[in-house]
Structure 1
Amino acid sequence: MSNFGLFGFGPDGWGAVLLAGAAVSICAAVCGLILASLIGAAAARAKLLGGPIARTIAQAYTTVLRGVPDLLVIFLLYFGSSSVLSSVGGFFGYQGFLALPGFIAGVLAIGIVAGALMTEVFRGAFLAVKPGEIEAAKACGMSTFLRFRRIVAPLTLRHALPSIGNVWLGLLKGSSLLSATGVAELMRQTQIAAGSTRLPFDFYLAAALIYVALAVSSGLLIQAAERRYSRGIVRR
């Protein structure tokens, strides 16, 4: 079979396997982005509006997590959870091995790490909103929730979108680390295919092209979102 045929979707091709791995990578990155956004919003609020204790906790979280490698966090969560769960199981008489599934541990890890980045993204985006725009909403008699929904959130998101795009691309690349816990994402499937066919260059090049295609597609979506949230803004 030719090298080109190895990437087909026939019985001897690896195309479907690579695309399935890419789908797992995308799913992990999406779940990680959702978790990172929730954590980032909460930590950014703590930094901006919280008391001294909340600000200290948020600052410690962002400082520590931005300085620790993603892979190390994955291992800590994966093996740490196994120790905790096995101890809890032993307390109730269960003698087997317990651990979080590799996918869940990996998503939690990359989401928690990305949450530290999203904290600064949201904090900086909120500070970029002009105070006069918020004061005008107050002057119109908007409630706190309505003011947040119609003024604060859209303006903050407009300023945050470019950086959110960077965090998303980081999560997409970081999803490759889930292979360390046995998750069959794109890099794991590529490693299997390369080992089975003894054509590592061909399959790693194919994986690189898939990642580039995902990055380009993501960039186009982010640009479309930026245009939507920048309607009415004069570009200079």
Structure 2
Amino acid sequence: MENLIRYVPLLLNGVLVTVALALISLLFATLFGALGAAGRISRRPLASGAVLLYTTLVRGIPDLVLLLLVYFGGQRLLNNLASFLGLGPVSLSPFWAGVVAIAFIYGAYLTETFRGAYQTIPHGQVEAAQALGLRGFALHWNVTIPQLIRFALPGYANVWQVLVKSTAVVSVIGLEDLVGIANEAGKTAREPFIFYMAVLAVYLFITWISTTLFEAMERRYAVPLAHAR
């Protein structure tokens, strides 16, 4: 336990890296998911087919394999591009490789989450809003998006919980996140069990905080719609 206390400052830095990795990955995954859902529900066969191929392939590839492909393949691609442009060697950091890989993976899951939420919205409400003169951005802002958020929140929360746990995989490419630091500290102190138990407690705490926040958001978006009835 004394060794664990001694490494607390380093572990806290690892927690910050893990949380930053998760939040930035979620941001880009949300963007990928929104674009993917727009492509899936569009009437353009090419766009819909391309997104379907993306979601099918990504959901069938293990996270670790895709992470390694992005890190080592991306490193080579960047250096080939830099060489072509007459620039020096370029280094892809483990952090941003992790962001790209995780965002790309969970963007596929969020694509289906957003698509399912959109299809849950009663079409009659959209037609009623159009009959009242709402079009374009006003229609989406006042009718579509509030209901989309409501229907998507449970699935979005589940994707976030899994995404947070997936950040642990990035330690294999040298990222000094919570898992990476705990692994090295456990080896140095020869007390890996204590350090991994600390990691477990931190992830459980993040999960608890996340669940509490998402439940509050679900209540927030459910109340106005319930009153509207």
Indicate the TM-score class for this superposition, using the shorter chain for normalisation. over 0.9
1:212 aligns with 2:209: no
Aligned runs of 1:65-214 on 2, under 5 Å? Answer: 65-93=58-86, 97-214=89-206
Deviation at 1:20? 1.3
**Aligned residue pairs: how many?**
227
CA contact (8 A) 1:81 1:99 kept: no
CA contact (8 A) 2:129 2:139 kept: yes
Gap regions ≥5 residues in structure 1: none
TM-score by length of 1: 0.92
Q: Which residue of 1 aligns with 2:14?
A: 21
CA contact (8 A) 1:79 1:99 kept: no
CA contact (8 A) 1:66 1:117 kept: yes
- Give the letter aligned to residue 60 of structure 2: G
Task: Measure, in 2, the Cα distance between the counterparts of 1:143 and 1:234.
Answer: 24
Deviation at 1:124? 0.4
Could you list the per-position Cα deviations for residues 94-140 of structure 1 after superposition, in whole angstroms to 9, with x for gaps in the alignment?
5x643311111110000000000000000000111111221121111
Q: Which residue of 1 aligns with 2:3?
A: 6
Task: Measure, in 1, the Cα distance between the counterparts of 2:60 and 2:110.
Answer: 14
Deviation at 1:67? 0.5
**Structure whose residues are more often helix by fraction:** 2
Paired residue for 2:224, among 212, 232, 236? 232
Q: Larger deviation: 85-94 or 114-123?
A: 85-94
Deviation at 1:171? 1.2
Q: Percent of aligned positions with the same letter in both sequences?
A: 35
Deviation at 1:233? 4.4
Gap regions ≥5 residues in structure 2: none
Aligned runs of 1:55-74 on 2, under 5 Å? Answer: 55-74=48-67
Task: Measure, in 2, the Cα distance between the counterparts of 1:189 and 1:154.
Answer: 41
CA contact (8 A) 2:4 2:194 kept: no
Moved over 6 A (4+): none
Structural RMSD (CA): 1.6
Q: Secondary structure at the match of 1:231?
A: helix
Task: Measure, in 1, the Cα distance between the counterparts of 2:85 and 2:109.
Answer: 39
- Give the letter aligned to residue 25 of structure 2: G
Task: Measure, in 1, the Cα distance between the counterparts of 2:65 and 2:81.
Answer: 24
